[in-house]
Amino acid sequence: MVDIRELNERIQRESAFVDILLNEVGKVIVGQKAMVERLLIALLSNGHIHLEGVPGLAKTLAVKTLASAINASFSRIQFTPDLLPADLIGTMIYNHRDESFSVKKGPIFANFVLADEINRAPAKVQSALLEAMQERQVTIGEFTFQLPDPFLVLATQNPIEQEGTYPLPEAQIDRFMLKVVITYPSRDEELLIVRENLAQEFPRANQVVNLEDIVRARRLVKEIYMDEKIEHYILDIVFATRYPERYGLEKLKPLITYPASPRASIYLAHTAKAYAFLRRRGYVVPEDVRALCLDVLRHRIGLSYEAEAENVRTEEIINEILNKIEVP
């Protein structure tokens, strides 16, 4: 049996750094609280995140600021059609003096890796990134290197500019724990953004958290209690994308080409626990699952031609499932 009271007390103590970290990031990033929170959830759940939004919404700045506040290594890779796998992971360099090869590591060897406009890279580069994301290792020549821990890939994608882009393989999209769609700031938030950029000195984030704090918090997140009813609730949501007729959602059947994979169930459970941690709770409630359903599922449900013809969006299907499935 899990002692919820004792676990809650531990969560209260160990999660104290969350508010400090969010306040520090908030000095630089105005608004976009949902995006920053999702970045933390991905970090605590040991997953990767896909950020989609038009240029100028502080995607790069948010990642860089978070890395500064945690004192983590950060690298930004601008994906272009002429990028090679060696530009990402590194290569073997021949030394004439020693008549031997040595390994030159690429920018992938960092705690936070920002893959900017990931859909501009060709398939070979995407497959190299895929190994790093899934296996947490990189192979250069005959050598295999473990990537630093924590290791987080944050990929951005511009939804409005499709010329010269390569569609991401479904297998790679599925490996992103979260896909977050970023919206424009409010009028008041944009006024603050303008003032910050007109100031004599742009604000910077200071280190307030160590990597050890994040690693320790990850271990604690796994201990958060999830009742069996919550587990079945997660499975009901995912299975409703596969067999909608079983849940009284027959009209969704012709709209879905391929449903959510088992990773959806795994990631919903992981992220729900991380969300509970951010809320200083030692147990998961249904609202934790519902809060992250869109971000976990929106890139895991393939729409049919019929759905596209009727302008049905993935978010509408997910919301319909959430409204139908009984909350425990």
Q: Which of 23, 29, 91 is closest to 63 using CA atoms?
A: 29
Whether the Cβ atoms of residue 172 and residue 123 lie closer than 8 Å to each other:
no
Task: State the average pLDDT over residues 116-130.
Answer: 81
Q: What is the pLDDT of residues 190-249, one digit of tens each?
A: 888 888 788 777 778 788 888 888 888 888 899 898 989 999 999 999 999 999 998 888
Report the alpha-carbon distance of residue 171 to residue 292 in Å, rounded: 21
Tell me the percentage of the chain whose pLDDT exceeds 70. Answer: 96
Whether 116 has a pLDDT exceeding 90, the answer reads no
> What's residue 166's pLDDT?
64
DSSP-based three-state secondary structure for 225: strand
Cβ within 8 Å of residue 154, ≥6 positions away: 39, 42, 48, 49, 50, 51, 59, 63, 112, 113, 114, 115
pLDDT band at 95 (very low <50, low <70, confident <90, very high): confident
Report the alpha-carbon distance of residue 280 to residue 189 in Å, rounded: 27
DSSP-based three-state secondary structure for 23: helix
Q: Which of 263, 290, 257 is closest to 275 using CA atoms?
A: 290
E strands, the chain, are 49-52, 74-78, 90-95, 100-105, 112-116, 137-140, 143-146, 152-157, 178-181, 256-258, 302-303
Whether 308 has a pLDDT exceeding 60, the answer reads yes
Q: How many CA atoms lie within 13 A of 81 on its CB side?
A: 6
Whether the Cβ atoms of residue 105 and residue 92 lie closer than 8 Å to each other:
no
Distances in Å between the alpha carbon of 301 and those of 186, 262, 319?
30, 12, 13
> What's residue 23's pLDDT?
85
Report the alpha-carbon distance of residue 181 to residue 157 in Å, rounded: 10
Residue 14 burial (CB count, 10 A): 17
Q: What is the pLDDT of residues 275-288, one digit of tens each?
A: 999 988 888 999 99
Whether the Cβ atoms of residue 305 and residue 245 lie closer than 8 Å to each other:
no
DSSP-based three-state secondary structure for 31: coil
Whether the Cβ atoms of residue 106 and residue 88 lie closer than 8 Å to each other:
yes
Domains and CATH numbers, the chain: 19-198+208-212 (3.40.50.300), 224-324 (1.10.8.80)
> What's residue 236's pLDDT?
93
Indicate the pTM of the whole model: 0.85
Strand partners, 258: 302
Cis omega (within 30 of 0) for bond into 150:
yes
> What's residue 41's pLDDT?
92
Task: State the average pLDDT over residues 179-197.
Answer: 84
Distances in Å between the alpha carbon of 127 and those of 12, 50, 76, 236, 298?
41, 16, 18, 32, 22
Strand partners, 112: 74, 152
Report the alpha-carbon distance of residue 197 to residue 194 in Å, rounded: 5
Q: Which tokens hold the place of 36?
A: 């920053």
